[in-house]
A = this chain, B = another copy of it.
């Protein structure tokens, strides 16, 4: 990781009021590098290559804190394991049930449509944090990506 990225991540943590520890920096960095919404265990495998001393328990604890601090998004799934996303921009998820993959789908026009639709709605007894569109289905060729145009 470049010195620049490392410093940037430290700042993100500090600004959020979190100690910039090695496990936290390493986990957040790995998550930022990934676009596949990894699980705690997958992140631990990757982090372990550079920092073999980071424990799986710490990865779980770190992720909990990062989610709490809104530095990381926790993705909804149909079971299995918890999955995480460091991409906080508004986007949708394509869930492939057969492969357990979660692929990002960016569509500013759709985001706008939904935002406007809810803008004129009255929501009571609830504080909305985000609205997410889930596209569920089955990937045909597991090796290639899904495209929507």
Contact = CB atoms under 8 A, between A and B. Distances in A.
Interface of A: 74-79, 82, 94-97, 110, 113-114, 117, 121-141, 144-149
Contact of A137 (B76, B126, B133, B136): B126
A121 B124 CA distance: 34
Number of copies: 2
A127 B134 contact: no
* A interface: dominant SS: strand
A59 B97 CA distance: 21
Nearest to A67: B78
Nearest to A114: B133
A145 to B, nearest CB: 7
A117 B131 CA distance: 17
A125 to B, nearest CB: 5
A149 to B, nearest CB: 5
B139 A125 contact: yes
Given A78-B75, A133-B133, A125 B141 contact: yes
A122 B138 contact: no
